[in-house]
Amino acid sequence: MAGSKTLNQLPVGSAAVVRRVNAGGIMQRRLLDLGLVPGTRVEAVGRSPLGDPIAYNIRGAVIALRQEESSLVLVELES
Amino acid sequence: MGLTYQSVGIPATREMFNVKVTDNRSVIALAGNPNTGKSTLFNALTGLRQHTGNWPGKTVLQSKGSFIYKGREYTVVDLPGTYSLLANSVEEQVARDFICFAKPDTTVVVVDATCLERNLNLVLQVMEITEKVIVCVNLIDEARRKKLNVDIQKLSELLGIPAVATAACTGEGLPQLLDLISQVVCGDLKPKPKLVHYSSELENAISKLEPKIKEVLGAELNSRWVALRLLEGDKTLIESLEKFYSQEMIKATREVLA
Ligand SMILES: Nc1nc2c(ncn2[C@@H]2O[C@H](COP(=O)(O)OP(=O)(O)OP(=O)(O)O)[C@@H](O)[C@H]2O)c(=O)[nH]1
Ligand SMILES: [Mg+2]
């Protein structure tokens, strides 16, 4: 897949669709509970001054994720 | 077993949440995702009759208030906003423990009408713990403004629980909400939550565990829900059991796990 990345690589202002969550265990469940289920459109909306965490719009709520979390989410960029 | 019940069947563990326990006072919990209007609704229901403090042993804010409706007194507890009840954070643990161990007479899950889908995850989680649940579709004015139409009747049918549309900041829908609350509390209205069915592998494991859990916990907690948590390896539930229940019960739960 050409446009395939992990969520932390998504530039602020752009959107992608979740393909898979690769976390396992409790973290897997946590990310799913935040709405990151496959097929969900996610937009990177803002970066904190130090670049981590990054804020994402997930199903109508803005949620900040750390690199260690967002790097576990496989997404496909919107063309 | 080591549990002491009052004659009227109020859970003994309720007192451990700083909630005054009396015979004729019903307890209502407001649960929901962050920013869905729980506190606005809480204020609308209780007016100036409210207290704030901390949850016992936690730095999380606890708001309690009361109101009287049709001659009955209600205590309302505003739970912290969470996306889940899996106790991954202090807020989630507070919300989960209150629903499990204080056993509110009704839990009202406040959802955002403008992003219903994301909110329904928590509704399903609450429905897995307790049957006494009402879904309150708040921010209905915002939804209307965005030309979103929520079919409340259909939602109620699909979930198997009472549903009502509200705009907490204008008071729209509050009379209907109060009516549903009082009907669920007195048992005139019995929600029948439609639960999620999991894969046959998981369902088999659940049905193996459930009888053993029932032996240990009796009707204290929903055995299906406990089975799911044990299968998920949720250690925080055991910790909470230790806090709220007798030693013999914990030991027996550990034996089920082993
Ligand atoms: N338009 C509209 N705004 C509302 C409604 N209910 C609440 N609000 C507004 O939504 C915002 C959040 O409301 P809160 O009551 O603080 O939400 P909450 O669920 O307690 O939030 P947390 O405690 O952070 O989880 C506030 O600005 C409210 O004024 C409503 O029905 N309609
Ligand atoms: Mg609040």
CATH number of the structural domain spanning residue B88: 3.40.50.300
B136: in domain: yes
B193, part of any domain: no
Would you say residue B189 has pLDDT above 60?
yes
Asked whether residue B135 falls in the same domain as residue B24, the answer is yes
- Taking only the tens place, the pLDDT of each residue in B70-129 is 999 999 999 999 999 987 889 999 999 999 999 999 999 999 999 999 999 999 999 999
Whether B110 and B221 map to the same domain: the answer is: no
By C-alpha distance, the chain A residue nearest B113 is A60
Q: Is the shortest distance between the CB of B34 and ligand 1 below 6 Å?
A: yes
For a ligand 1 pocket test, name from B33, B39, B63 the mutation site with the most ligand atoms within 8 angstroms of its C-beta: B39
Which residues sit opposite A30 in a β-bridge?
A: none
* pLDDT of B1 above 50: no
Contact B91, B160 (CB under 8 A): no
- The reply to whether B30 and B134 lie within a common domain is yes
Q: Mean pLDDT in chain A?
A: 92
Average pLDDT, chain B: 90
Our mutation pick for probing the ligand 1 site, out of B30, B33, B35, counting the most ligand atoms within 8 A of Cβ, is B35
Q: Specify the pLDDT at position B117.
A: 92
Q: Is residue B251 part of a domain?
A: yes
Range of the domain at B251: 200-257
* B35–chain A Cβ distance below 8 A for any pair: yes
Q: Other CB atoms closer than 10 Å to residue B237's CB: what's the count?
A: 23
Ligand 1 atom nearest to B142, measured from its CA = 1
Percent of chain B whose predicted confidence (pLDDT) is above 90: 70
CB contact under 8 A, B84 and A30: yes
Same domain, B182 and B204: no
CA–centroid distance, residue B5 to ligand 2 (Å): 32
Are residue B103 and residue B141 in the same domain, yes or no?
yes
Instruction: Tell me whether residue B141 is in a domain.
Output: yes
User: What average pLDDT does this structure show over B195-217?
Assistant: 94
> CA of B62 to nearest chain A CA: how many angstroms apart?
23
Domain membership flag for residue B192: no
Looking at the fold, whether B209 and B153 belong to one and the same domain comes out as no
Note whether residue B194 is domain-resident. Answer: no
Q: Do residues B2 and B249 make contact, with C-beta atoms less than 8 angstroms apart?
A: yes
Contact B118, B33 (CB under 8 A): yes
Q: How large is the average pLDDT for residues B46-53?
A: 89
Type of residue numbered A43: E
Cα separation, B34 vs A61, in Å, equals: 9
From chain A, the residues in CB contact with B86 under 8 A are 26, 29-30, 33
Q: Which one of B169, B170, B172, B177 would you pick to mutate in the ligand 1 pocket, going by the greatest count of ligand atoms within 8 A of its CB?
A: B169
Total count of domains within chain B: 2
User: In the numeric block, which tokens belong to residue B133?
Assistant: 């649940």
> Which chain B residues are closer than 8 Å to A34 by Cβ?
83-84
* Whether residues B180 and B216 fall in one domain: no
| Percent helix, strand and coil across chain B, each to the nearest 5 | 45, 20, 35
Amino acid B154 reads K
| B208 and B164 together in one domain | no
Residues of chain A with C-beta less than 8 angstroms from the C-beta of B117: 59
Rounded distance between C-alpha atoms, residue B12 and residue B21, angstroms? 9
Using the 3D structure, point to which of B186, B212, B233 is the last residue of a domain. B186
User: Looking at the domain assignment, is residue B191 inside a domain?
Assistant: no
Q: Are residues B84 and B174 in the same domain?
A: yes
B55 & B175 share domain: yes
Residue B240 has a pLDDT of 87
- pTM comes to 0.90
Number of other CB atoms surrounding residue B202 within 10 Å: 13
Q: What is the pLDDT at residue B239?
A: 85
Chain B interface, mutation test: which of A26, A40, A41, A65, most B Cβ atoms within 10 Å?
A26
Q: Is the pLDDT of residue B20 over 90?
A: no
B130 touches chain A (CB under 8 A): no
C-alpha–C-alpha distance, residues A29 and B92, integer Å: 13
Inform me whether the pLDDT recorded for A75 exceeds 90.
Answer: yes
pLDDT band (50, 70, 90) for residue B257: low
Question: Are residue B130 and residue B250 in the same domain, yes or no?
Answer: no
pLDDT of the residue at A24: 87
Whether B195 is in a domain gets the answer no
Strand pairing category for B25-32 and B106-112: parallel
Give the B window 78-97 contacts with A, CB below 8 Å: 83-84, 86, 88
pLDDT band at B58 (very low <50, low <70, confident <90, very high): confident
Does residue B248 share a domain with residue B217? yes
Please name the amino acid found at residue B164.
V
Sketch out chain A's domains with CATH numbers. 4-77 (2.30.30.90)
Q: Mean pLDDT, to the nearest integer, of B157-161?
A: 98
